[in-house]
Structure 1
C-alpha cells in the first residue's frame, strides 16, 4: 500500500466483525488513527462463542480455509499467522451421509479419494480429477482479478480482464449444470453442489465459475483452529492492540452524519449515554442495506438501487451438548436431502422452509476433545432456510417445528436417540441472527450469489454517494465467509490509503 499523505486522519469503523477489524488493522499499519465501535460485548461479529457446562460452542463460522489471506493482517512484525492461531489440517474434510445409507468421505489426499470413489465403478475418480482441473481454472481466473485486485462491478471485471484474459471462465451456465456436465455419479454431484453452502446460495442459480470452491479446499486445505474458531477473533483483537486501534465495546452507532457528498461523524449510545465522534473516513462493517436504512436514513430512491443485492439464505442454528459420543461422525458432516434441487427450489425460489433439508453438522471434538467434557459430544446443526420475508412470515414456533424435523432426520439417519442424550441446548432463529448482528433479514452470508440477479457480485466497497464512506463484510465484494470478509477489509484499507494519498 502507498503511504498516507498525512498521519493524523481518523477512521471510525462501525462493527468489530472480521471485515471491520481487518480494515482497522491494515489502516493502523498505514498510519491512520482508528476507532472501532461495536454494539455487542465482544468482538468477532458472527464469529462468536458460548461456553456452558464444559462445552465450548463456536456460534458462527466453523471452517477455516485460505490461510494465506489472513497472513497480511498478522505477519508484519516478524511473527507468523501460526504464532497467533494454531492451525490443524483436517482430512477427511467432510463426511457425507445419504438417505439410502451410503456414506462418502471427501478427502484432500488424492490416494484416499481414489479409494473412496473406486467403489462406484470405473470413471468416477477420473471424472472427479477432471472436475478439479476445471475448478482450479475457475479459481485461477477469479483470484488474479476479482479477489486480488478487489474488483467491485461487472464493468471493473471487463476493464481488468478484457476480451481474452478470462477465457475459460464458466459464466454461461450454473454451478449445477456445469457439475452435471462433468460428473455422472449422483453422490459426487450432490457433494460438489453443496460447496455452495459457503456463500448461502443455490447451486441451481449461482454462476458456473462458483465451482472454484472445491479447488479452494483441495489446493489450500481445510483447517481447524486448535481451541476453537473463536481463537481467531481473539487473535484479531490482539492485533488491534498491537497496532494501536482503539476498540470500544458496548458502543452502538445509531446515526451517520452527512454533509453533501461526505460523512462527517457518527452518533450512538454507550451505557445509556449518547456520544458523537467525528471522522475523516467511516467504514461500516454493518451490512450495506441495514446501514443505509438504520444509519444513513437513505431515501427510497437510493434504496431501490441496492434491491438486486438480495440477502443470502438464513438458517436455524442448533448447538447441542450430548452425554454420549456418536463415533460415526467426522469433524464436518452433511446429511443430504433426497432431492437436492427440490430443496434449492423450495428455499431460494419459493421462500419456504425445507421439508427435507440438507443438514450441515459439525462435531469439533473429533479434532479437539477440549470442546466438550470427556465422553460427550459437541454438535452444531445448521440447515439453510429462507431469509425473513413477507411471502412466508414464519414464526418462532415454525422454526421450532423445523428443529424437530431436523432431529427426526438425524435420528433416522444414524444418530440414535439424539434427543435423549442432549444435556445442553442453544437455539438460534433468523430473528436472533437479525437482532444480534443487524444482518439483512437474518441473512448469514450477506448477499446471495445468483447468475441472473447480480452475476455473483455483491455491493461495492466504496459508497456511490459519500466519497469517504466504505463498507466491509459479507454484503460487499468479494462476499461472505471468513477469508473473503478479511480480504475485503484489506481492500478497503487500500482504497482509503490510496484516496488519502491523492489529496
Structure 2
C-alpha cells in the first residue's frame, strides 16, 4: 500500500481520505487553514452558533454509505439526523405564500393548489414526474461513475423529457430551465419556485439546461435533512472517522505545487519550501494550484465566472415560535432584474435578491430558549468584501417580510462576504461550484477525477461530479475507487 498526500481538508477530500485509509494506504492531509470542513464552517459568538456553509442536507445516503464502508457504523450513530418538515415556506413577490411538506408529492400538490389556485399543484406534480425521468437517465453516469473519455454523450442529449410547446406555428421543446417554467408550469410563482433551486447553486435559469430539473427533484424525492448541532457536526463526524482510520492531518500547511518526477505525481511542495514525497496525490482544491495540469483539447474544462454567496448571521432576542418553518425562501419581487444584475456582462449585487432564511429549532445554537440564531443567504457576484451594504439591507428587509418586527429583535449581526468564502475554500473570488448537469453542451460538467498527470487525482466540488455536500461525498467515493480498484473502476453498484 502506498503513501497518499491529500491536499485540503474539505468534505470531498476527507471522504476520499477515510476510504483510502481503510483500504490500507497511509494518508496524510495537508490543509492550509487551521481546521477541517472547507465550506462547511462554523461561527460561534456569545452563546450563538451558525453554519456558514450548507444549512441542510440532501441525499444523506451518500454519507451513510461512507460510514458503513469505512467502519460498518451507521451515520446516525455519529450525528443526529432529523427531517426538515415542512421542507420550506415560499414567500412570492406578489405577496402569496406556500408551505411545502417534506418528500410528499401528494402533500406538495395539495399545498400548491391551496396556496396558488386549482391546477398549480397538478402542473408541479407533472413536472416532478418528468424530472424523475431526467434523474433516472443521468443519476449513474453523472454521480456514480467516473467521468469517462466519452463524456460528450452527456453534453449533447437533453435527458429532460420536455413537453412539446407550440409557438408561432412551430413546435418546440424546452432546452433551458427558464423555458420549462414558462412553457410547462405557466405560473410566475411556480417558475420562481423552480428557478430558486438553480439560483441557490449560482446557476442562471435562463441558460441552465432543462436537466437542472433534477435539482428540485432530488430535494423532493430524498427529502431535506438537518444535523442537530448544525451541519458542522457532520464535518466533525467525518474528520473523526478519518482519524479512526489513521489518516493524519497537518493544518497550517499551504501546498503550492504538485511535484512531478519521471512523468508522474511524486509529492507536493509546501509554501515554506518543504518537499513531501508521495506515491499518489489527491488534490481537493479549487483550480489554480501549480502543478495540476491544464485540461487538454477535448477534455472538460474548469468552470469560471461563477457567483458566490453573501451570508448574514443574526443573533436575535425572543423565543422561536412553535411551528416556525426551518427554511423560508423570500423570492425577489423582480426576478428578471435580479438575474440581470447577477449574470450580466458586469455583474453587480442585486438590489432586491432572493433570500433564504434559516431558523433551525436547535437548542445547541442559542444561549437559551429566549433567543434565536438565524442565517440569511443570497447569491451575489464573486469577489470582494465591499459594496454589499445595500444588498445586506435588502436581505434584512426581505427577512422582515417573513418575520415581522425582526429588526427590533436583532442583538447583533455578522456579514460573511465572498472574500470570507474565498478564505475558507481557496476558490478565487469565493466562487461556488454547482453540481454537474447533463446537456447544455457540457458547460456544467466538471473535469474528471483522474488527470493527465499519472498519480494525480482531483476531488471535491471543482471536479466530477461537482458542487454540493452530497456531490462532495460522491466525489470522494469515486476517487477512492479509481485508486483502490484502478482505471477499470466503474462506480458503485
- What residue in structure 2 maps to residue 40 of structure 1? 33
SS in 1 for 2:386: helix
Distance 1:297 1:78, change over 3 A: closer
How far apart, CA to CA, are the structure 1 residues paired with 2:26 and 2:352? 51
How far the C-alpha of 1:440 sits from its partner, in A, is: 2.6
Give the one of 127, 130, 139 matched to 1:131. 127
Report whether the alignment pairs 1:190 with 2:181: no
Give the one of 239, 242, 259 matched to 1:240. 242
Give the one of 417, 420, 428 matched to 1:432. 420
The CA deviation string for residues 215-273 of structure 1, in whole angstroms up to 9 with x for no partner, is: 2122211100112111101110111022121122222212222235322121225xxx6
- What residue in structure 1 maps to residue 396 of structure 2? 407
- What residue in structure 2 maps to residue 375 of structure 1? 370
The CA deviation string for residues 359-409 of structure 1, in whole angstroms up to 9 with x for no partner, is: 1111112xx233213121111111101123xxxxxx533112321222233
The CA deviation string for residues 440-466 of structure 1, in whole angstroms up to 9 with x for no partner, is: 3211236896965743211221222x1
SS in 1 for 2:460: coil
Report whether the alignment pairs 1:493 with 2:480: yes
SS in 1 for 2:388: helix
How far apart, CA to CA, are the structure 2 residues paired with 1:116 and 1:168? 25
- The answer for unaligned runs of 5 or more in structure 1 is 1-6, 389-394
SS in 2 for 1:397: coil
- What residue in structure 2 maps to residue 470 of structure 1? 457
How far apart, CA to CA, are the structure 2 residues paired with 1:431 and 1:78? 39
How far apart, CA to CA, are the structure 1 residues paired with 2:448 and 2:292? 19
- What residue in structure 2 maps to residue 87 of structure 1? 81
Distance 1:444 1:331, change over 3 A: same
C-alpha contact (below 8 Å) 1:326/1:415 kept by paired residues: no
C-alpha contact (below 8 Å) 2:131/2:160 kept by paired residues: no
How far the C-alpha of 1:499 sits from its partner, in A, is: 3.2
C-alpha contact (below 8 Å) 2:200/2:379 kept by paired residues: no
How far apart, CA to CA, are the structure 2 residues paired with 1:214 and 1:126? 16
Distance 1:376 1:243, change over 3 A: same
C-alpha contact (below 8 Å) 1:207/1:455 kept by paired residues: no
Distance 1:298 1:75, change over 3 A: closer
- What residue in structure 2 maps to residue 209 of structure 1? 211
SS in 1 for 2:288: helix
How far apart, CA to CA, are the structure 1 residues paired with 2:88 and 2:402? 17
How far the C-alpha of 1:122 sits from its partner, in A, is: 2.7
Aligned length: 474
How far apart, CA to CA, are the structure 1 residues paired with 2:437 and 2:159? 19
SS in 1 for 2:414: strand
Q: What TM-score results when the alignment is normalised by the length of structure 1?
A: 0.86
Deviates more, 1:93-102 or 1:133-142: 93-102
The CA deviation string for residues 263-304 of structure 1, in whole angstroms up to 9 with x for no partner, is: 2121225xxx653210111111111x222xxx32878x9799
- What residue in structure 2 maps to residue 4 of structure 1? none
- What residue in structure 1 maps to residue 325 of structure 2? 330
How far apart, CA to CA, are the structure 2 residues paired with 1:167 and 1:349? 27
- The answer for unaligned runs of 5 or more in structure 2 is 164-172
The CA deviation string for residues 7-57 of structure 1, in whole angstroms up to 9 with x for no partner, is: 2x1110000101100111111222211111112121111111111111111
Aligned residues: CA RMSD: 2.9
| 1:94-493 superposed matches below 5 A | 94-108=88-102, 109-119=104-114, 120-151=116-147, 155-156=150-151, 158=153, 168=161, 173-259=175-261, 261-269=263-271, 274-287=273-286, 289-291=287-289, 295-296=290-291, 309-325=303-319, 327=321, 329-350=324-345, 351-365=347-361, 368-372=362-366, 373-388=368-383, 396-411=385-400, 413-445=401-433, 454-464=442-452, 466-493=453-480
How far apart, CA to CA, are the structure 2 residues paired with 1:113 and 1:180? 20
How far the C-alpha of 1:149 sits from its partner, in A, is: 1.3
- What residue in structure 2 maps to residue 392 of structure 1? none
Q: What TM-score results when the alignment is normalised by the length of structure 2?
A: 0.88
Q: Structure 1 residue runs of 4+, over 6 Å off? A: 160-163, 169-172, 301-307, 447-451
